[in-house]
Amino acid sequence: MVINIFIILLLLPLAVSADQDAFVGVNIGTALSDMPNPTQVVVLLKSQQIRHVRLYDADQAMLLALSGSGIQVTVTVPNQQLLAIAQSNATAANWVSRNILPHITTTNITAISVGNEVLTTTPNTASVLVSALKYIHSALIAASLDSQIKVSTVHSSSIILDSFPPSQAFFNRTWEPVMISLLEFLQSTESYLMLNVYPYSDYIQSNGAIPLDYALFRPLTPEKEAIDSNTLLHYTNVFDAVVDAAYFAMLYLNYTNIPIVVTESGWPSKGDSNEPDATLDNANTYNSNLIKHVLNTTGTPKHPGVATSTYIYELYNEDLKPGSVSEKNWGLFYSNGKPVYVLHLIDSGSVLANDTTDETYCVAKKDADKKMLQAALDWACGPGKVNCSVMLQGEPCYEPDTVVAHATYAFDSYYHRMGMADGTCNFNGVATISTTNPSRDGCTFPGSGGSNGSFINGTSVAPSTNSTTSVGFSVLDSVSFVRVFGACLWTMAFL
């Protein structure tokens, strides 16, 4: 009976919910011999539509450059400052006054991480960690910023022991008093647990026990899935297993309502001779699959549908990092802003569609509602002033004669006409950014450096998504209408 009750408790959903939609952010490390200036960094962030960043300090120049961008920023109190801040409220208030208050009206600071992996990197400060968090939070209360800025601290996943099956996981008992005090603070302030999750490290340290496909989010056949024998939950990737292990470790201490944000995760694109799986292809596969997994709000087996927002480690390759070759090659970009690799992000939104050579395309979502697609196509060929004549029968882009193919050409034409500006590849949610060239024989898309036709003279400001849709015309009707009357009577809008 006791065992049955235990299993039932494990299967009960934890009282965890997401306050916002899932997001993918990036960490910005600065150990580069030719680190771009803060303005250049922000230009890259904007071009990639990155809306969340984590800094390893509270660099004033970077916070100033982020001013007015709307990008949500997590700043960090460096480990070496913890002892001083934990000594008094006044020291913490001074830190907030110097590092937060000058920027808060223009830079969107949403979280402060007090220390980074303190328990595993600077254990001598562990006893004062929670005191430092409390003092920083008190300083935010005094400044009326406690509802705007969450306070937490980043942990390595290595503080979780016996992590598989996840239902048996618990925090290292050495740190249990600290964790109980921390979790009590996070719960009382409605903050979240910050956790670094590195399936690459787990894979390397497993000595072959963890399959590469399981670490990379690659599809597994049912017999290769890992099964938690206590809950019978099936795990198809290391990332989810580690996140659920953290949830179960909190449950072990009777905390069930603290969400998790993954503050670091990634895969190196290059390694030493003894790291054969640190490759461009594996890094691309892992990060592409991770981004899709997060943005699809898949959740974990224990918490399906609950967002696990994640910051990718990291924005740039850092050549000044000590250690192995892999330590220097976790970045998505080189210091000149060129991508280390182009992520496979079809149908997963525009964030980090990271081809900075402008080889990005706006394509119709294959699973989009056909009536919505047709209406958006009509708008593009009408008020959007795309020359859709190339999609007439006998013209280069007529085949395949489907609404998805025709909408893709029209959407991409409009997107590039508008300079690939933010919001110009949405069309009420039926379009998405892709890095795969959709051109086909005889039909060249604008993003590939050419076009089969020209835009109709004039411009059309994309109306808001609140506009109502009109009766849909077919693409051929749209073309004829524009040709004959030279005017647009549609009132619908999608962008």
Beta-sheet strands, E only, within 203-242: 226-227, 234-235
Q: Which of 20, 92, 32 minimizes the C-alpha distance to 321?
A: 32
Spatial neighbors of 121 by CB under 8 A, at least 6 apart, are 79, 156
β-sheet bridge partners, residue 161:
170
Q: Is 357 helix (H, G, I), strand (E, B) or coil?
A: coil
Record the tokens describing residue 145, joined without a space: 């910023």
CA atoms within 13 A on the CB side of 23: 18
Q: Quick check: is 399 catalytic?
A: no
Centre a 10 Å sphere on the Cβ of residue 219 and count the other Cβ atoms it contains.
9
Backbone angles phi, psi at 441, to 5 degrees: -50, 120
Residue at token pair 């508008």: 418
DSSP string computed for 35-46: PPPHHHHHHHHH
Q: Are strands 160-161 and 170-171 parallel, antiparallel or unpaired?
A: antiparallel
The DSSP secondary-structure symbol of 476 reads H
DSSP string computed for 68-89: TS--EEEEEE-GGGHHHHTT-H
**Torsion angle in degrees (nearest 10) through CA of 71, 244, 306, 130:** -50
Q: 160: phi > 0 → left, psi -120 to 50 → alpha, else beta; which? A: beta
Q: 142: phi > 0 → left, psi -120 to 50 → alpha, else beta; which? A: alpha
Record the tokens describing residue 419, joined without a space: 């300079």
Among candidate residues 184, 225, 264, 318, the one labeled active-site is 264
Q: Quick check: is 359 catalytic?
A: no
Q: Identify the H or E element spanning 362.
A: strand 361-364
> Residues with catalytic annotation?
117, 264
